[in-house]
Amino acid sequence: MHERRREPDPDAGGRRSRRGLLESRHANRSYAVLSFELQRVGAEAIGSKALAMLDLHDPALDWVRLAEGMGVHALRAETGEELSNAFEACMQEKAPHLIEAVCSG
């Protein structure tokens, strides 16, 4: 029996075509939706181990370095002004970009 192999897309994510793509990651460093659900169901005594499972700080994903490792230009924004400036800068170039918008919980 022969195995069928899927050939990788040579234009993965538009990186090679110089298309003007913009990807945004809203990094709140936690599974905030799960914290909300715990509150919603009335969970009161949440232990430190359970809370640690909802935290994504250790280690924090570095979306900028991940993107750059794949040849995609990336910026990090920690304020509204930085996000606006990053967006404007990305719109000036016909190339794929990623903006990591760091959100405080």
Chain centroid, CA 24 distance in Å: 7
The per-residue pLDDT for 9 is 46
d(CA 105, CA 27): 10
In CATH terms, 19-102 corresponds, of 3.30.70.270, 3.30.420.40, 3.40.50.970, 3.30.930.10, to 3.40.50.970
Domain ranges of the chain: 19-102
The DSSP letter of residue 51 is H
Altogether, the residues listed in the chain come to a count of 105
pLDDT of residue 28: 66
Instruction: Report pLDDT digits (tens) over 39-93.
Output: 788 777 777 887 777 766 677 788 899 889 988 999 999 999 999 999 999 888 8
Structure tokens at 10: 């040579």
Q: Count other C-beta atoms under 10 Å from residue 103's C-beta.
A: 15
The predicted-structure confidence for 6-20, as pLDDT tens digits, reads as follows 444 444 555 555 556
pLDDT band at 21 (very low <50, low <70, confident <90, very high): confident
List phi, psi (to 5°) of 2. -90, 135
Provide the whole-model pTM: 0.60
